[in-house]
Amino acid sequence: MNPSEADAIEREKWLSAGAEITTMLLQGLPEEDVLEHIVTLARDIADADAAALVLPGLKGELVVEIVKGWGAEEVLGITMPRDGLSWTALKSGKARIVPSLAQERNIITPQLRKYGPALYAPMGTQEKPVGVLVLLRRESQESFISKDLERATTFADQAALALVVSEARQAQDMGKLVEERERIARDLHDLAIQQLFATGMQLEVVRRRAARGLDKAGLIAILDEALDNIDNSVREIRSIVHSLRDPDAATGLVERLRREAALARTGLGFAPSLVISLDGNDLGALDAEEQTIDELVSKHLTDDTLAVCREGLANAARHAQAQSVQIRVAVTSPQAASDGVGCIDIQVEDDGIGLKFVSGRKSGTWNISARARQYGGTYSLENSPSGRGALLQWTAPLKPQRIEEAPQVITSTTEWTVPSDS
The answer to whether 369 and 409 are in contact (CB under 8 A) is yes
Task: Delimit the domains of the chain by residue range.
Answer: 3-170, 177-250, 253-405
The pLDDT score that the predictor gives to residue 73 is: 86
Q: CA-CA distance, 390 to 392, in Å (whole number)? A: 7
- State CA 176 to chain mean position distance: 16
- What class does CATH assign to 3-170? alpha beta
Q: Which of 351, 340, 166, 329 is nearest to 258 (CA)?
A: 329
CA distances from 184 to 180, 181, 190, 198, 314 (A): 6, 5, 10, 20, 35
The pLDDT score that the predictor gives to residue 29 is: 67
The pLDDT score that the predictor gives to residue 327 is: 94
The pLDDT score that the predictor gives to residue 204 is: 79
Q: Per-residue confidence of the chain (422 residues) as pLDDT tens digits?
A: 666 767 777 777 777 777 777 777 666 666 677 788 888 888 888 889 999 988 887 677 888 888 999 988 888 888 888 888 889 888 888 888 999 998 888 787 888 988 999 999 988 776 777 889 999 999 888 989 888 888 888 888 877 776 666 566 656 656 666 666 676 666 666 666 666 777 777 777 777 777 777 677 777 777 777 777 777 777 667 666 666 555 555 578 888 888 888 878 777 878 889 999 999 888 865 566 788 898 899 888 988 898 899 888 888 887 778 889 999 999 999 999 888 889 999 999 999 888 765 444 344 466 788 888 888 899 998 888 888 889 999 999 997 654 433 333 333 333 333 333 33
Element (H, E) at 90: helix 85-92
DSSP notation for 350-403: E-SSTTSSB----TTTHHHHHHHHHHT-EEEEEE-TTSSSEEEEEEEESSPPPG
The answer to whether 89 and 75 are in contact (CB under 8 A) is no
Sign, CA torsion 99/101/103/107 = positive
Residue 129: count of CB within 10 angstroms of its CB:
18
One fold for both 3-170 and 253-405?
A: no
Q: Which residues pair with 349 in a beta bridge?
A: 326, 391
The pLDDT score that the predictor gives to residue 393 is: 94
The answer to whether 158 and 42 are in contact (CB under 8 A) is no
Q: Quick: pLDDT tens for 122-133.
A: 887 767 778 899
Topology of domain 253-405 in CATH is: Heat Shock Protein 90 (3.30.565)
Non-local CB neighbours of 278 within 8 Å, separated by 6+ positions: 289, 292, 293, 330, 331, 333
The pLDDT score that the predictor gives to residue 58 is: 66
Q: Which of 211, 310, 212 is nearest to 268 (CA)?
A: 310
Q: Across the beta sheet with 62-69, what order do the strands follow?
A: 62-69, 50-56, 129-138, 115-124, 96-98
Give ∠ CA 194-234-252 in degrees, rounded to 5.
95
